[in-house]
Structure 1
Amino acid sequence: MSRSAPSPAVEAGRAAPAGRWVAVGREALGALVALALSVIALRHVIATPRVALLWYDGDSVLLPLVRRSLDAGQPFEWAMSPALFFFPELPVYLLCSVVTATPQQALTLNGLLVLLAVYALLRAAANELMPAAGRPARIAVAGLALAFVTALVLTESTATATSLELASLLLTTTYYYGAVLAMLGTAVLVLRAVRTGRASVPVLVTLGLVAALTTASNPLYVPWSAGPVIVTLVLLALARRVPWRPSLLLGSVLVVGSVAGYLVRVPLRPFVSLDPATYVHPSRAVDTLAFFAQLTDDRAASAAGDAGLLLLFVGVLLAVGGTVWAWRVRTARTVLVATVLPLVTVVAVSVGVVVAGSETPRYLEPIVTAPLLAIVAVAELTRTAVRATRVHRPSRAVRTVLAIGAAAVLVAGVAAVPGTVRTVTDARYTAARCLDRWAAGRDVTGVGQFWTVRPLATYAAPNVELLQVRDTFDTYPWLVDLGAYRGARPTFVVIGSGDVWTRAVEDSLGSPASITHCTGFDVYDYAGTTGAAVLRDRVVQSAEQTLRDRGF
């Protein structure tokens, strides 16, 4: 007796699991390519002087210092900048530090996770912008956008944050990657609402939470994300290219969320060292233009710098060209939003920095990340235009090129892993070792200036505590736990080779009991001298006054 052919329902049931596994496999491959691109970027930073910005910069070691303070059981009385780093930077770093052995390892893992998060958000944006495209196309476009970031990172190698090397700042924990991720996440939520034509409750709630939490942690979210999104939606609604109802709902939620974030900052005021308004100096606008012109000249002084500037220009050009293209062909409104929004963001941030009279290049980070949306949008415009032509044929050439590119990235990423892991695992801050040898296991507390003592305070042994002070030995309340100063008994001074003391240390404290020379700094030991009492009184009294002024 012959068997009957399986019914269509049975065949469909068998095909469904197979299709799901194929989809999972493709997504996994995309994630592996993203991981390889992230490793390549990290390997470059670690192998160049840029590693100092990642591991040892006075700002970059903030979160490792928070972890060290928590481990020591000190009161949580931190003097932060206007950016508090409570969301998402601090919890993410603490999780990284739990599964790693050293601050270098935790900072590296954190940077890796940030780039993977960028890919995940770009992948989500591709879903909204390319709903008619196949899954492989959406994965490929998200990977290409991340490759753009990696290419930019590969052009950056100096140890300073005061440059137009902006892409690699994403790898650090304290140069606002949280606001960047929130900016991309906000864009994805807005694109979802625009694509569906309605702002659903889950989208609005999520958008409001992102706006509130990010603004509470870092007010840069407002000029980087909330403001440009509102301007974009209003402009396109006035032009009748997007519906008014979802635009008003999205804009209202962003306003309410941002205001809520600012209100949350009110009880957090003791942690804030400066009001954001103190950064605004319109009278310096001309000087700011000259400053960034000089930075551009400095960046163009090398072939890598020229390549980096060219890539930045390409990103902006894609936003401008994509906007014109999307407007003229009357494409899907999501694509139009995804081209106009980066353009508005770049213009708003660039003009805002100049008008504010700021000479802080990192405030221009959105000119790197906002155009990533335009890359995805232009890819969809290109795909749609090609498919509309009669000459279009399903071509293996594009797939072959993408496959070869993905394979090359995977090979390069795999090749970079051993050296990267070895470098990160073996990384030690040799300057801290000299200080540890001098301490010889004793529980000692010392003071020094910001840029010198912060990396030492991060990587020194637990028995060595360092407090940052001004050149007058008054407490310097900037990115530091003021609780550590309570009852402190400092007995030595660390004097860095680049420190500027308006009055010689020996003129203020007298002759030290001994001087120990280390690479980059000297240790003036005042234990057992009258200078130790003078030092303790100045440091502790100024700290107590600062704590009272802040309401701790």
Structure 2
Amino acid sequence: MTRSWVRELAGWLSAAAVALVAGGAVASSARADLLFRDGDSMVVAMLARSLLAGEPLDWAMSSVLFLPESAAFTALDAALPVDANGLFAISAVVNLLALYGAIRLAAGRARAGAAPVAWSVLALSVFGVLAMTDVSASREALDLASLQLTTTYYSATVVGTVFTIGIVRRMVDSHELRAWPAIALGVVALVSTLSNPLYAAWATVPLVIVLAVAATSSELRSRTSVIIVVLLAGTALGLLSRIPLAAWITKTGVDYVQPGQWHESIDYYARLVGERMQSPFWVIGLLITAALLVVAVVRTVRPRRPGSRLVAASAWVAPVVVVIGAIALGTHAARYLQPVAFAPVLALVAAPHVPRVNHNARRAVAAVAGVVLLIIGGLSIPRLTDAAARPDTDLACVTAWVDASGRTGAGQFWTVRLPKLHLAESSRLVQVDHRLNAYAWLVNRADFAVGEVSFLVEDSQTVPWDLPEAALPETIIDCGRYSILDFGAETLPLGPQRS
């Protein structure tokens, strides 16, 4: 029992080291824009701050509610005396640790001849390498693994999907169906779907396909039938549970479905692949993914334990189903294809057998590898800290001026969200479109109660304003990449809400 406990603890420490290394590398690259400064990436932090401040909650969300992500960020924000960037950095490490926990579940129980902890650490390490090959600052690049380090791009759905595969593996390998795993499966499916309907495409559909094929075996038919029913029921209840939250959902999943654009979808994703092929780092990532898919297929066809084959099959079926589905539905968003990055690494834990080497040599290699990981992980802490603490004088100029003014201003989505998060009172900046209509998208609609503003913040991403001819700023404050158009005593009324 003690030795098992020690192995599990060593696995978590090693995973923490991997998370620090990957987090430090990504945060020090151009991808840092997505971690710390991207307009989309602010929503979870803004919601957490709104909750902690006790503000009236009238949020306009997309089809994704970010419930687990917001709960985790709110807990970190309440517990830790660090700024928003520090919380983003810590969240990146926490997200990778959560993924390790899900991978460890998918690796199966410890037993003679198996080394699930070591293989789980290896799987997370490979995923970390994939994240480090992501070097684009664009949110639309086919840089999928590094999205797991953000608070916004469905990190909880990734963990929920892998966690689901892990529970299903345990249920398939069990000689008898037990209530608790079935309940856990249903709860994970319900919560994940409630938060993000993409779970149905990433987890439910691929697993139902794999389980339906497994049900052709008379030995597994009864178990797989129950699992399919529980998984479908949990997913359906998750969708139904979204109905009471409809006021927060400004765009349903149906709005993203445009099957008539499947030709454009193929062109779009093909262009992203072509762009990724232009960098040696991106090519390395693609080769690693391709190798993992081959391993997954091989481990699917080889006769092994049912749970092992299920995990191996999920490692390649999920990416195939998601890519085909994304094209068939005419989507145009790289983030929907994240199973292409995280699912293939499950091939490494499908059959976590012990290597055929001398026992003492194996222990020595594991000990040395663990120590090296911990050292490198420790050395990565300053790198991650420096990335989070990197000064932004332009942002500081804007927030200092707005805080000191005591007035309320406005800005467009891609411009205003970063300053808005870093203000002492986030409601001092209202989100609008170029015509000053209240832009209700990933924001608290309670902000719009102010009705009028007296200054505007703009930058290079700002669409030219369409203001009344009489509206001329008294002065323009230069804040580097930002400009503040101060209208002084004159106020500009907000237009009607739109999303």
Give TM-score, length-normalised by structure 2. Answer: 0.95
Opposite residue 335 of structure 2, the aligned amino acid is: R
The 5-angstrom pairing of residues 32-431 of structure 1 reads: 32-86=13-67, 88-98=68-78, 99-128=80-109, 131-134=111-114, 137-238=115-216, 240=217, 243-324=220-301, 326=302, 330-380=303-353, 383=354, 394=358, 396-424=360-388, 426-431=389-394
Once the two structures are TM-superposed, the CA of residue 509 in structure 1 deviates from its matched residue by 5.4
Structure-2 change in CA distance of 1:101 and 1:232 (3 Å): same
Opposite residue 382 of structure 2, the aligned amino acid is: P
Opposite residue 27 of structure 1, the aligned amino acid is: E
Structure-2 change in CA distance of 1:508 and 1:196 (3 Å): farther
Opposite residue 373 of structure 2, the aligned amino acid is: V
Q: Deviations over 1:132-156 (max 9, x none)?
A: 335xx22111110011111111111
- Find runs of 4+ consecutive structure 1 residues off by over 6 angstroms: none
Aligned mates of 1:21, 1:203 — CA distance in 2: 25
Aligned mates of 1:404, 1:508 — CA distance in 2: 71
Aligned mates of 2:459, 2:123 — CA distance in 1: 42
Q: Deviations over 1:410-462 (max 9, x none)?
A: 221122123333443x3444333111343362322111110000001011333
Structure-2 change in CA distance of 1:71 and 1:91 (3 Å): closer
Aligned mates of 1:231, 1:509 — CA distance in 2: 63
Say yes or no: does 1:490 pair with 2:415: no
Aligned mates of 1:242, 1:359 — CA distance in 2: 42
Is residue 197–residue 246 contact of structure 1 (8 Å, CA) maintained in 2? no
Once the two structures are TM-superposed, the CA of residue 375 in structure 1 deviates from its matched residue by 1.1
Opposite residue 212 of structure 2, the aligned amino acid is: V
The 5-angstrom pairing of residues 436-447 of structure 1 reads: 436-439=399-402, 441-447=404-410
Q: Which residue of 2 aligns with 1:525?
A: 486
Is residue 195–residue 334 contact of structure 1 (8 Å, CA) maintained in 2? yes
Aligned mates of 2:462, 2:346 — CA distance in 1: 43
Opposite residue 233 of structure 1, the aligned amino acid is: L
Aligned mates of 1:117, 1:71 — CA distance in 2: 24
Once the two structures are TM-superposed, the CA of residue 72 in structure 1 deviates from its matched residue by 4.3
Q: Deviations over 1:300-350 (max 9, x none)?
A: 1111111111122122222222212x2xxx221111111112222111101
Aligned mates of 1:77, 1:92 — CA distance in 2: 20
Aligned residues: 498
Opposite residue 7 of structure 2, the aligned amino acid is: R
Where 1:524 maps in the other structure, the secondary structure is strand
Aligned mates of 1:35, 1:320 — CA distance in 2: 30
Q: Which runs of 5+ in 1 are unaligned?
A: 1-19, 387-391
Is residue 121–residue 184 contact of structure 1 (8 Å, CA) maintained in 2? yes
Aligned mates of 1:73, 1:415 — CA distance in 2: 39
Aligned mates of 1:359, 1:400 — CA distance in 2: 48
Aligned mates of 2:250, 2:23 — CA distance in 1: 32
Aligned mates of 1:463, 1:255 — CA distance in 2: 40
Q: Which residue of 2 aligns with 1:11?
A: none
Is residue 194–residue 242 contact of structure 1 (8 Å, CA) maintained in 2? no
Where 1:173 maps in the other structure, the secondary structure is coil
Indicate the RMSD between aligned Cα atoms, in angstroms.
Answer: 2.1
Opposite residue 113 of structure 2, the aligned amino acid is: A
Q: Which residue of 2 aligns with 1:389?
A: none
Opposite residue 369 of structure 1, the aligned amino acid is: F
Opposite residue 479 of structure 1, the aligned amino acid is: L
Q: Deviations over 1:468-497 (max 9, x none)?
A: 111121111110100111134311111221
Aligned mates of 1:313, 1:242 — CA distance in 2: 32
Where 2:409 maps in the other structure, the secondary structure is strand
Opposite residue 371 of structure 2, the aligned amino acid is: A
Aligned mates of 1:75, 1:393 — CA distance in 2: 62
Once the two structures are TM-superposed, the CA of residue 400 in structure 1 deviates from its matched residue by 4.1
Structure-2 change in CA distance of 1:266 and 1:464 (3 Å): closer
Structure-2 change in CA distance of 1:125 and 1:241 (3 Å): farther
Where 1:342 maps in the other structure, the secondary structure is helix
Structure-2 change in CA distance of 1:469 and 1:332 (3 Å): same
Where 1:178 maps in the other structure, the secondary structure is helix
Q: Looking at CA atoms only, which structure, 1 or 2, has the larger radius of gyration?
A: 1
Is residue 81–residue 478 contact of structure 1 (8 Å, CA) maintained in 2? yes
Opposite residue 414 of structure 1, the aligned amino acid is: G
Q: Which residue of 2 aligns with 1:6?
A: none
Is residue 38–residue 150 contact of structure 1 (8 Å, CA) maintained in 2? yes
Aligned mates of 1:241, 1:469 — CA distance in 2: 60
Aligned mates of 1:219, 1:160 — CA distance in 2: 24
